[in-house]
Amino acid sequence: MEELRFLDLETHSAAINMAIDEAIMRSLRDGAAVPTFRIYRWQPSAVSIGVFQSMREEVNLDYCKTFGIDVVRRITGGGAVYHDYDGEITYSVILPQGHRLAPADILESYKLLCKGIILALRHLGIKAEFRPVNDIVTGGKKISGNAQTRRFSCLLQHGTTLLGLDVRKMFSVLRVPQEKISDKMIDDVKQRVTSIRDVLGEMVGMTELRDAIVAGFSEALKVELVPGALSRTEWEMANTLAREKYSSDEWNFKR
């Protein structure tokens, strides 16, 4: 069976998490890494914004500073995501261009890779489906958001799957005028977004979600996830990228 290097659930800062993705892509391009699947959490909790979004327009920077929430610009498009340490798991899959799991057609590749999360949710007992372009929904509500870029002769897709959802917290972190945070608005969001615990109850834990994601991606992609680690070169590159790019105002406040 085809193999992917598997970097099991780790916890990092926002800058390191985004830097690891880029370091793997660069290494893969240079022939110094293999196709990789990784899952991770964010500590401190963090907001990531899409590559074309405005940091100041999307993120409540005062709130984030006060409560020690990281902010980072992704290299992928899409919207702002709040990555709560206790509330989600993020995955990344990094594949070379032309790989069986990286079709040239963007929609097709989202659909293929998102199947991993759909099967993960099925393992947990949640029936979910792909909603083009980049969402996974259950009962019409979004439970996972995904984003892709094609750079460094690679495809990167990363995405979040919500274990829990604290709408008030999400609104505090994202820039929504405070007076608009009404009960009605919170109800509206709950009509559009959900989480595993909203569907199944509070008992579902991080480990169960981790196990489900591993099983879901193995099945959906028909691959063997082989436990591995970043090479020393990848770590050095990730640390440099985290320091010089993903922690810099030049990058994070680019728009």
Site for another protein in 103-122 (CB under 8 A): 106-107
Applying CB under 8 A, does 193 fall inside the site for another protein? no
Check binding of 185 to another protein (CB under 8 A).
Answer: no
Kindly tell me which residue out of 111, 151, 169, 210 binds another protein, with binding defined by CB under 8 A: 151
Single out the segment in contact with another protein by CB under 8 A; choices: 13-21, 149-157, 217-225, 234-242: 149-157
Sign of CA dihedral 109, 134, 76, 160: negative
* Shortest distance, position 81 Cβ to another protein, whole Å: 10
Question: Which residue, 79 or 98, has its beta carbon nearer to another protein?
Answer: 79
Please say which residue, 51 or 167, places its beta carbon nearer to another protein: 51
Q: Does 253 bind another protein (CB under 8 A)?
A: no
Name residue 162's beta-bridge partners.
Answer: 88
Minimum CB separation from another protein for residue 51, in Å?
Answer: 6
Name the one residue in this structure whose structure tokens are 């994202």.
Answer: 174
Q: Which is nearer to another protein, 115 or 151 (CB)?
A: 151
Cβ pair 8, 229 in contact under 8 A: no
Give strand pairing partners of 88. Answer: 162
51/66 Cα distance (integer angstroms):
24
Q: Does 48 bind another protein (CB under 8 A)?
A: no
List the one residue from 76, 138, 157, 195 that touches another protein (CB under 8 A): 76
CA dist 164 and 22 (Å) reads: 28
By CB under 8 A, how many residues form the interface with another protein? 22
Three-state SS at 199: helix
Contact between 7 and 39 under an 8 Å Cβ cutoff? The reply is: yes
Contacts to another protein from residues 119-138, by CB under 8 A = 133-134
206 vs 150: CA distance, rounded Å: 30
Q: H or E element: which one contains 24?
A: helix 14-29
- Taking CB under 8 A as the binding criterion, the range among 28-36, 87-95, 142-150, 233-241 that sits at the site for another protein is 142-150
Judged by CB, which is closer to another protein: 66, or 153?
Answer: 153
Residue 91: CB minimum distance to another protein, A? 18
Question: Residue 138 CB: number of other CB atoms within 10 A?
Answer: 19
- CA–CA separation, 128 and 142 (whole Å): 9
CB 157 within 8 A of CB 146: yes
Question: Per rule CB under 8 A, is residue 148 in the interface with another protein?
Answer: yes
Q: Give residues in contact with another protein (CB under 8 A).
A: 50-54, 57, 75-80, 106-107, 133-134, 147-151, 255
